[in-house]
Amino acid sequence: MNNNITYSFFILLGACSYGIVASIVKLAYRAGYAVHEVTGSQYLFGLTLLLFLLPFFKRSKVSVKNVMMLMMAGAILSLTGILYGLSLDRNQASLAVVLLFQFTWIGILLESIYERSWPSREKIISIFFLIGGTILASNVGSKNLIASIQLEGIIYGLLSAFFFALFIFISGKIAKDVPTMQRSVFITIGGLVLVILVFSPSFMTSGVIIEGLWKYAILTAFFGVIFPIVFFAIGTPKVDAGLATIAGSIELPAAIVAAMFILGEHVNFEQFIGIILILIGISVPQLRIFIKQSNA
């Protein structure tokens, strides 16, 4: 199988994990836990588990520069989640999702600026499918959003999209020679440090983890830290940023399907069509790679 398709598959798996963790986080909120408690424990447990696994995987000496770059990437990923949460707090979820998923075209734009070239025809076609599919899948047309829109929430949503696109972009450019598990550990440390700086470390001493938060923290650690960060660490250094961004769009369909099974949410026909469009958008660049490989 073509290596690009193989590594894109790892990115798909990582993005699916992010989609699943959204439903787990909602369950934690329903149980009465606050944003800083859920987010903080997610990174704390994620880092603990990664450190436990690290001795069983390949390691190498890592320069201070690479450590700092990877921690910066982790802080950017963590900032994405914080900004998305603020966007959700100020606007309806459907609008916040649409704003976050602007990362698709932002990621293509970042790659074009970096490469100093226009995106390929396949990527442009893919973006149209992804944007249209996102609008339908997020069910944004089913509610009257105009009256409830807050400008502050829109700004937070667009910033979350920018930083998510930036994370995907830079994670494929930095510290490529660092083994996957070590990359993942340093990225997670960066994310945890930012969460503590933004929210304070009170969640670690308040007793809330022992009282029951640990059940959600273990799940969010796996699906929100370990799986996505490890899979992105495997895939993004091997795939161009634009293709990685497009593959990451699988997060929304995964989130909708997870919400249907975990939370019992209803998926209407409009959302189903949106999911199909997103899957088509993801497939377009991969199809070109497959055809080239078949003709080689």
pLDDT in tens, 225-240: 899 888 988 888 888 7
Percent residues over pLDDT 90 in the chain: 24
pLDDT score, position 232:
86
Helices 3-30 & 251-258 angle (0-180, nearest 10): 40
pLDDT band for 1, please (50, 70, 90 cuts).
very low
Measured between alpha carbons, how far is 107 from 241 in angstroms, rounded to an integer?
7
Structural domain boundaries enclosing 72: 3-295
pLDDT band for 220, please (50, 70, 90 cuts).
very high
H-helix segments, 150-268? 151-171, 180-199, 214-221, 227-235, 241-247, 251-258
Number of folded domains in the chain?
A: 1
CA 222 distance to own-chain centroid = 13
Measured between alpha carbons, how far is 13 from 230 in angstroms, rounded to an integer?
10
Measured between alpha carbons, how far is 161 from 176 in angstroms, rounded to an integer?
24
Question: Is the pLDDT score of 291 beyond 80?
Answer: no
pTM assigned to the model? 0.83
Could you tell me if 160 and 84 are in contact, meaning their C-beta atoms sit under 8 angstroms apart?
A: yes
For 61, the 3-state DSSP assignment is: coil
CA 127 distance to own-chain centroid = 17
Helices 151-171 & 103-115 angle (0-180, nearest 10): 50
Question: Is the pLDDT score of 119 beyond 50?
Answer: yes
Percent residues over pLDDT 70 in the chain: 91
pLDDT in tens, 60-89: 889 999 999 999 999 999 998 888 878 877
